[in-house]
Homo-oligomer: A and B are copies of this chain.
Amino acid sequence: MDTRPGTSSESGNGGQWAPARGGSPSFLRQVNVLSVLRTVREQGPLSRTDLRRLTSLSRPTINEVLGVLFATGYLIEDEPDIGQRSFRSGPAPRMLRFAAEVGHVCGIDIGAEKILVKLARLDGEVVASVRVATPRLSTPAETIRRVRNAVRIACTEAGIGEVEVRQAAVSTPGIVDPSTGCVFLAPQLRGWEGLRLADRLALQCPVVVENEMHLAVLGERWRGAAKGIDDVVYIGLGVGIGAGVVLGGRLHRGLGGAAGEIGYLPLTVDADAVTGGRGAFETAAGAHALGARAQKLARGRNGGLLRELAGGDPTEVTAATLFAAASAGDAAAATLISDEAKLLAHAIATVALVLAPSVVIIGGGLSRAGALLLDPIQERLPALLPVPPPQVLQSTLGEDAATIGAIYVALQITDDRLYTTVAGGER
């Protein structure tokens, strides 16, 4: 008998197939089909000989299972690549591989400044990427029209029809209520409060919506700076400030999806933390606040370089100008950045005291400053913590983090569906 008990807990469907009573043929077939699909997917391309060795299944069982899998379209057997094998003796075997090209998923990031749409194959390879600006003060209807348009362009770029997209995942600012799918607390996007985004997008595939920080941390853990790290916090530093939390390798969403709302951290014991929709901490430390402090500096005696970098107009000075001035050796600019680092270290220390993550990833617009901002943060942390501080790393995915995280989530959902379908023997 070729069943391999114990496979269930390793399978990608989270053990969702109903346990069959006894060693019934249908259950054994399911185990074998999933085992072969998973082996080829993770270790392929493979010859049938490789597959027999890796699965310990008999030749007749392998043949039967492959028949089922070929019919689903998820597995194909390619002719050998003659060139590759020319120095070896014997005929080259045909190779089994997962047909990652039979389906696509879509990752969408809707931000205050940009809409980013990426299409990926079932193996996660990105095959199309479209970026469009979000006009300031655009209405939800206008933003949604732009998203739908960007998805259409991405499909054309990838050479697929929209119906071939199996799942989309959407990143948005704000908290996404898991029971209703409504977006709340998203002052970045006008009219976004209470929006049922998944329904409004009306794409031709299922859509899930998730907070941008929750997706960014998943993205960085999948393909970015936090690969293989089980306890990691992503902190997005832009106009708003928020965090995404992965613990034990799993996203922690929290009550109502509200984990990581560190933009609302109280700066003092007496002050209320919520001021006009914006949090106390992001109001003090976000990109607007830093830009305002830089503009004030630019108008003063020590603001010569800042004014110069902004073409003589202090109102054109932004956080980016400040970082450029500091890079060029401007002492006043460096002092402002050091003050900003102190504010940010306060928030990172707070997160570290509660959670003690191994790694904190810094993303968002301000993270582009790199070592200029991260070094003083890392220097400040030991004074704030009684234990060794977490490693503070710059995001490697940059503005793509949430979109890559959205692709990851869409692939997870597609995978669950794929394994359930294949195990059920249906197409």
Q: Are A357 and B7 in contact (CB under 8 A)?
A: no
Given A254-B355, A269-B346, A274-B385, do A20 and B8 touch, yes or no (CB 8 Å)? no
Stretch touching chain B among A256-264, A296-304, A328-336:
A256-264
State A1–B268 Cα separation when bound (angstroms): 67
Given A265-B353, A355-B355, do A256 and B5 touch, yes or no (CB 8 Å)? no
State A22–B23 Cα separation when bound (angstroms): 11
Q: Are A3 and B15 in contact (CB under 8 A)?
A: no
Query: Can you name the residue of chain B whose Cβ is closest to the Cβ of A256?
Result: B387
Q: Which of B9, B262, B270, B358 contacts A353 (CB 8 A)?
A: B262
For window 373-417 of A, CB contacts with B under 8 Å fall at 383-388, 390
Q: Which chain B positions have C-beta within 8 A of A222?
A: none
State A67–B346 Cα separation when bound (angstroms): 62
Instruction: Tell me, yes or no, whether A6 is within 8 Å of chain B by CB.
Output: yes
Copies in the complex: 2
Instruction: Tell me, yes or no, whether A71 is within 8 Å of chain B by CB.
Output: no
Stretch touching chain B among A137-145, A162-170, A240-248, A311-319:
A240-248
Instruction: Tell me, yes or no, whether A362 is within 8 Å of chain B by CB.
Output: no
Task: Convert A1-45 into 0s and 1s, putting 1 for each residue whose CB lies closer than 8 angstroms to a CB of B.
Answer: 111111111000001001111110001000100000000000000
State A218–B236 Cα separation when bound (angstroms): 32
Q: Which chain B positions have C-beta within 8 A of A82?
A: none
Q: Are B355 and A386 in contact (CB under 8 A)?
A: no
Instruction: Tell me, yes or no, whether A266 is within 8 Å of chain B by CB.
Output: yes
Interface centre among A6, A277, A349 (most CB of B within 10 A): A6
Instruction: Tell me, yes or no, whether A351 is within 8 Å of chain B by CB.
Output: yes
State A385–B265 Cα separation when bound (angstroms): 9
Q: Are B231 and A254 in contact (CB under 8 A)?
A: yes
State A383–B270 Cα separation when bound (angstroms): 11
Q: Are B8 and A259 in contact (CB under 8 A)?
A: no
Q: How far is the CB of A427 from chain B (nearest CB, A)?
A: 24
State A346–B384 Cα separation when bound (angstroms): 17
A/B interface sample: 8 pairs, CB < 8 A: A6-B20, A9-B9, A185-B387, A243-B354, A256-B356, A259-B354, A266-B349, A269-B343
Top 6 A-B residue pairs of the complex, sorted by shortest distance between their CB atoms: A6-B19, A254-B356, A258-B356, A259-B356, A258-B387, A255-B356
A residues lining the B interface (CB < 8 Å): 1-9, 15, 18-23, 27, 31, 56, 175, 184-185, 231, 243, 245, 247-248, 250, 252-262, 264-270, 272-274, 277, 279, 342-343, 346, 349-351, 353-358, 383-388, 390
